[in-house]
């Protein structure tokens, strides 16, 4: 759920003994189904809300209405602030509410709540993958980040040969459903794709973090490095404007519109690691895309076309 709605729901519930999904839907201007999902998401995140079935039922905060939220436990507060990390869809009003909530929390775990707001970055720009389930390891890693404890990782990298590493977890990134762990290792900073972590064992060894560390700034550096590797070859293409959203969805940051061309088409720049990678991605578009340059991409498209013609050119015609 959106972090600003989460705060709004909690503030509303602390003013009333009981609320229904219909009450929330009317108050927040969302559907009843969305309000119900928000309540269920709060409960699943560990915030102390519970349903009361039957006539006159609804949802309540454990212990009844409060004038503040200082009755939250440490894990509950951590869950709340993890949902509002850098990059989350949070309005200015919600940020102000979160700051007020932070000052109302007991001093004993205020530091953990502050750490939780910096434990996760949400990067909505995809790298060509979507609808990936959240790995079960994410919560364990988040706790390690917040508590600043080392974790022992069994990791399958590009070679798929598992290795065991002791890492200092610095923060997690949700990149359009694909999760990454930024961590320090004996070999320096590393980025681990969470769905390739075969096992994660928390330890009680204190984790080290660079002085002045800011997760969003370091992630921006990582993205820039990866984008440079992913975008070594650029091509200029012509495409009808109505197809541009699909092209942007596929190429993400590597799709730059340069302006109008002839016959209602747009001039677009695309990038991939190699000319072959570009050709493979564009071959399925057929005549909908015209590649102007470079010649290397045109040659790869011609080769792919010749291979397909040789295999399927007479299919069904014999």
pLDDT for residue 266 is more than 80: yes
pLDDT for residue 113? 55
pLDDT tens, 37-78? Answer: 878 777 765 667 777 776 667 888 765 434 355 555 555 555
Segment 298-309 shows an average pLDDT of: 94
Structure confidence at residue 84 as a pLDDT band (50, 70, 90)? low
pLDDT for residue 102? 59
pLDDT for residue 186 is more than 50: yes
CB 145 within 8 A of CB 168: no
Pick from 4-18, 63-77, 150-164, 295-309: least confident: 63-77
pLDDT for residue 67? 39
Tokens at 119, concatenated: 């434990």
CB 42 within 8 A of CB 3: no
Segment 177-204 shows an average pLDDT of: 90
| DSSP characters over 133-190 | PPPTHHHHHHHHHHHTEEEEEEEE-TT--EEEEEEEEEEEEEETTEEEEEEEETTEEE
pLDDT for residue 35? 83
Give the domains, in start order, of the chain with CATH numbers.
3-117 (1.10.10), 123-215 (2.30.30.520), 231-312 (3.30.70)
* 228 vs 137, more confident: 137
Length of the chain as a residue count: 318
Q: What is the rounded distance in angstroms from the CA atom of residue 318 to the CA atom of residue 316?
A: 6
Segment 78-84 shows an average pLDDT of: 57
Backbone angles phi, psi at 296, to 5 degrees: -60, -40
pLDDT for residue 2 is more than 60: no
pLDDT tens, 96-138? Answer: 556 666 555 545 445 655 565 556 565 655 555 555 567 788 8
Place of tokens 């890693």: 141
What percent of the chain has a predicted confidence (pLDDT) above 90?
Answer: 30
What is the chain's mean pLDDT, rounded? 78
Q: What is the rounded distance in angstroms from the CA atom of residue 87 to the CA atom of residue 96?
A: 16
Distances (CA, A) of 185 to 178, 191, 208: 22, 10, 10
């Amino acid at each position: 759920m959106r972090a600003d709605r989460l705060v709004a729901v909690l503030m509303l519930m602390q003013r009333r003994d009981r609320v229904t999904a219909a009450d929330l839907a009317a108050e927040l201007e969302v559907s009843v189904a969305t309000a119900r999902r928000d309540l269920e998401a709060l409960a699943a995140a560990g915030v102390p809300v519970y349903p009361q079935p039957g006539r006159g039922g609804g949802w309540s905060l454990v212990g009844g209405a409060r004038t503040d939220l200082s009755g939250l436990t440490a894990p509950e507060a951590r869950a709340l602030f993890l949902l509002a990390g850098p990059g989350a869809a949070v309005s200015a009003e919600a940020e102000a509410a979160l700051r007020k909530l932070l000052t109302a929390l007991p001093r004993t775990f205020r530091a953990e709540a502050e750490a939780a707001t910096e434990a996760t970055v949400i990067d909505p720009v995809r790298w060509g993958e979507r609808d990936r389930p959240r790995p079960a390891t994410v919560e364990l890693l988040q706790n390690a980040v917040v508590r600043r404890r080392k974790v022992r990782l069994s990791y399958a990298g590009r070679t798929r040969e598992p290795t065991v590493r002791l890492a200092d977890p610095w923060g997690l990134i949700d990149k359009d459903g694909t999760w990454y762990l930024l961590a320090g290792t004996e070999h320096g900073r590393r980025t681990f794709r969470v769905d390739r972590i075969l096992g994660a064992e928390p330890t009680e060894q204190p984790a080290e973090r660079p002085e002045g560390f800011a997760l969003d700034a370091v992630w921006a550096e990582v993205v820039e490095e990866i984008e440079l590797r992913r975008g070594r070859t650029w091509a200029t293409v012509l495409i009808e404007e109505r197809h541009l959203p699909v092209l942007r969805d596929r190429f993400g940051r590597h799709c730059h519109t340069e302006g109008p061309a002839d016959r209602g088409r747009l001039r677009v720049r695309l990038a991939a690691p190699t000319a072959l990678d570009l050709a493979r991605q564009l071959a399925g578009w057929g005549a909908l895309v015209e590649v102007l340059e470079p010649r290397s991409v045109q040659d790869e498209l011609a080769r792919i076309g010749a291979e397909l013609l040789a295999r399927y050119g007479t299919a069904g015609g014999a």
